[in-house]
Amino acid sequence: MKKTFLLIVVFSLAACASSKDRVVAVKVGDEYYKPEPEAAMAIDTGADKKVVCKRRIVTGSHRKQKTCKTQEQMDRERRDAQENITKNQLLEQRRTIDSRSDGG
Each residue's pLDDT tens digit, 26-64: 888 888 888 888 888 888 888 888 988 888 888 898 888
**Measured at the alpha carbon of residue 91, what is the angle toward residues 85 and 96, in degrees to the nearest 5?**
125
Helix (H) or strand (E) holding 83: helix 71-103
- Predicted local distance difference test score (pLDDT) of residue 80: 97
What mean pLDDT value characterizes the chain?
80
Helices 37-45, 71-103: crossing angle, 10 deg rounding: 150
Sheet holding 64-70, edge to edge: 26-28, 31-35, 64-70, 51-57
**pTM for the predicted model, two decimal places:** 0.60
Q: What are the DSSP calls for 38-80, one per residue?
A: HHHHHHHHT-S--EEEEEEEPTT-S-EEEEEEEHHHHHHHHHH
